[in-house]
Amino acid sequence: MIPRLALGAPGIYRVPDQPLRGLTGVRMDVCAFVGVAPRGPARVPVYDADWAPKPCRDGATMTHSVAVAVDSWNAYQQIYGAFEGPGLLPYAVASFFENGGLRAYIVRIVHEYLGSDATKNTQGIARSAFRLLTTTGGGSVKLRASNEGLWGNSLTAQLSFKTTPLALAPDAFMPSGIKFGAGLDLGRGATLRISLGGGIQVIRRLALIVEDWDPMTGARLRFATFDAPTAVAGQSAALVAGVLEIEDGDGRREVHDRLGLSSDHPRWLARVLVGESDLLYPEDDPLASWINLDLDPDGSLPTYGILPFTGGADRYRDIVPDDFFDPDWVLGDDCQGKGIHAIVELEDLSLLVAPDIYSPRPLVPVTSIVDEGGFAGAEFTECVIPPPPTEQAPVPEDLDRLRLDPSADLDRITTLQRRIVALADDLRSFVVLLDAPPQLDRQRLLYWRAKFASPYAAAYYPWIEVARLDDQRDAIVRVNPSAIAAGIIALRETQFGVPYGPANVVASSVVDVDDRVSPQRHDELHQNALNIFMKERDGIRLTAARTLSVEQAWRQLSVRRLLTMIERVLYQQLQWVVFEPNDREIRTQISQMIEAYLRQLFRANAFAGATEATAFFVRCDDLLNPPLVADQGRLVAEVGVAPAEPLEFIVLQISRDGDATLRVRS
């Protein structure tokens, strides 16, 4: 259709480009992990500055939980650390990527202190201040670790300066400012070191810049006033920029250059820390805030070191199951919540794993083994006195308040998992992968299974044993089977697409299973929709991909994910229809777009049926959209599909004919 044109005199008119509209697939391999880590974004502060991000909720002083995307295990380590903590989160994320995952969101859980303990929410964070460096108001320049944890006590930083001489005419200097040509890029907030003669150098910031024309030459000039006058006119000037170098003592290093020393500068130090640093934030002390002031370095521009960071603490033992949830979040809330509710606004999320929702057993502590031998030689000589042994690091805190024994606390475990499933049922946009509690007997395992009836949940059993070369724990670690399953689901999605069942895959980088399920027991558990990892000759294989739905139509995980994908595509990619005229033309266009998309899925074997007519239908006609519906500003379309279920059973019939010939029929 040629769009309406405003025609004037006879001539040739160019038809404006029409937007190309069509429905395309969306990725369904992204998984969110919610658990305990030794470092990483949590309790992100809110700053009272024009350049600072504003909180979603008015009056909020921090964002308690943050979902951060990572695309590899190395990216996770850079932000959240490795295996030094007591949680299973790093093991789960590592297993996800090793089994085929390509993208994950991470939500770090920390304890929320309430009531009289609310002030502790700002504790556990390492803090420090620059030596001798002050602001124009005379206060200290304080910094804090970007998030809480013992790791912050190892931070170091130093602020140095680079100067660039400015080519200014001799008459450019005045006690109150300078004038310069249009070719010199100086803006408000720029910091200059002015040489006044006699070895005297002062620091001044450009407070106000006015443009004018030189009446003699007609050239454009700019006049800049200083934030404070000088005693005499300067003789020369250099542009000053800060360079902040940060190290965390564990291999992470940041260098932030071209820093402004004034709060008016676009790369003001505090602004850059908030927007670019993963290691440090400005400390916004309410009694002596510096984020809206200016730095006042000495005219010699020395390098400013920082005092030792102190106050960092892990506080693992304070974490409780309620920290994984936000009781104040309600369906339809425009703002994300805390804990698991931090993922509610993620549009590309399709899987959720909570490896630390409870801790069934403690991990082996991280210890460094000191070899006190090794001084004996092959020859008989004078005895060598070994040096004193290296002091062992203190044993880290454990997840004491998350510890639940499946044999004694099964109902409490089930209640926590049901809260996660309830969120998935409300949002209808992702599937929760649950871990059946470890080491349960047959009766207790089936008792646990009977507590769930959701198409938005899938359960996996048994737990998986791993042994990692990059882990300081010299021991087998039992990892959540849901994490390995999430990687396998992501792998099958990227290889074949959602319609193919995410199972029948051998797990990677695993050693053994926590419970070897017998074939007879496997038969029973599979019929109860428990997805089992079986140890076979070739390795440990995921043998099924069922949901916990009690409805036959939703028993296959691939079917639930396929319908979720179609809903997501239609919702996200048909937003342009809003405010379009509700006429027959737009209805036809919508029908054709949806049919074209479903036709692609049909050709990819996503639907049952021998023809398109038996596989899907799309209706968006006058019958569904009578004048009464159109007058209400509504447009109604009906889409029906017949999903193809993955093949689970192959039945073979073996017979022997009279001539002793064996026949095998499927």
Identity of the amino acid at 124:
G
Dist. CA 48–CA 185, nearest whole Å? 29
Least confident of 217-226, 411-420, 599-608: 217-226
First-residue to last-residue Cα distance in the chain? 54
For 401-470, the DSSP string reads GGB--TTT-HHHHHHHHHHHHHHHHHH-S-EEEEEPPTT--HHHHHHHHTT---TTEEEEES-EEE--TT
Average pLDDT over residues 653-658: 64
Q: What sign has the CA pseudo-torsion 394, 400, 402, 407? A: positive
Q: What is the pLDDT of residue 79?
A: 97
Residue 198 Ramachandran class (φ > 0 left, ψ -120 to 50 alpha, else beta): left
pLDDT band at 604 (very low <50, low <70, confident <90, very high): very high
Half-sphere exposure of 488 (CA within 13 A, CB side): 27
Average pLDDT over residues 413-442: 97
pLDDT digits (tens, 9 = 90+) for 148-182: 999 999 999 999 999 999 988 888 899 999 988 77
Identity of the amino acid at 16:
P
CA 474 to chain CA mean position, Å: 29
Q: What tokens appear for 200 in the block?
A: 């005297």
Half-sphere exposure of 380 (CA within 13 A, CB side): 0
Average pLDDT over residues 512-533: 96
Dist. CA 268–CA 245, nearest whole Å? 15
Dist. CA 476–CA 217, nearest whole Å? 81
Q: What is the pLDDT of residue 73?
A: 97
Q: What is the pLDDT of residue 392?
A: 53
**518 to 21, 131, 506, 649: CA distances (angstroms):** 53, 66, 18, 18
Q: What is the pLDDT of residue 391?
A: 55
Average pLDDT over residues 242-263: 96
Dist. CA 250–CA 149, nearest whole Å? 14
Question: What structural domains does the chain harbor?
Answer: 30-114+317-558 (3.40.50.11780), 124-305 (no CATH), 577-666 (no CATH)
Of 661 and 537, which is predicted with more confidence? 537
Strand 431-435 vs strand 457-461: parallel, antiparallel, or unpaired? parallel
Q: Which helix (H) or strand (E) holds 272?
A: helix 269-276
* Among 502, 499, 514, 506, residue whose Cα is nearest residue 600: 499
Global pTM exceeds 0.85:
yes
Contact call for residues 294 and 261 (beta carbons, < 8 A)? yes
Centre a 10 Å sphere on the Cβ of residue 408 and count the other Cβ atoms it contains: 8
Q: What is the pLDDT of residue 523?
A: 95
* Among 190, 67, 44, residue whose Cα is nearest residue 121: 44
Contact call for residues 302 and 281 (beta carbons, < 8 A)? no
pLDDT digits (tens, 9 = 90+) for 291-324: 999 999 999 999 999 999 999 999 999 999 999 9
For 128-144, the DSSP string reads EEEEEEEBTTS-EEEEE
Q: What is the pLDDT of residue 666?
A: 43
Dist. CA 471–CA 108, nearest whole Å? 20
Kindly report the length of the chain: 666
* Among 370, 364, 201, 387, residue whose Cα is nearest residue 298: 201
Q: What is the pLDDT of residue 218?
A: 65
* Among 281, 413, 335, 314, residue whose Cα is nearest residue 64: 335
pLDDT digits (tens, 9 = 90+) for 536-554: 999 999 999 999 999 999 9
Average pLDDT over residues 430-436: 98
Dist. CA 306–CA 572, nearest whole Å? 49
Q: What tokens appear for 391 in the block?
A: 């002091």
CA 558 to chain CA mean position, Å: 25
What residues are paired with 513 via a beta bridge? 464
Task: Look over the chain and give the mean of its residue pLDDT values, rounded to a whole number.
Answer: 90
pLDDT digits (tens, 9 = 90+) for 614-642: 999 999 988 999 989 888 889 999 999 99
pLDDT digits (tens, 9 = 90+) for 8-35: 788 887 776 666 678 888 999 999 999 9
Contact call for residues 104 and 371 (beta carbons, < 8 A)? no
pLDDT digits (tens, 9 = 90+) for 181-240: 777 888 899 999 999 988 899 999 999 988 877 676 667 788 899 999 998 998 999 999
Average pLDDT over residues 263-283: 96
What residues are paired with 640 via a beta bridge? 617
Dist. CA 494–CA 26, nearest whole Å? 11
Contact call for residues 318 and 401 (beta carbons, < 8 A)? yes
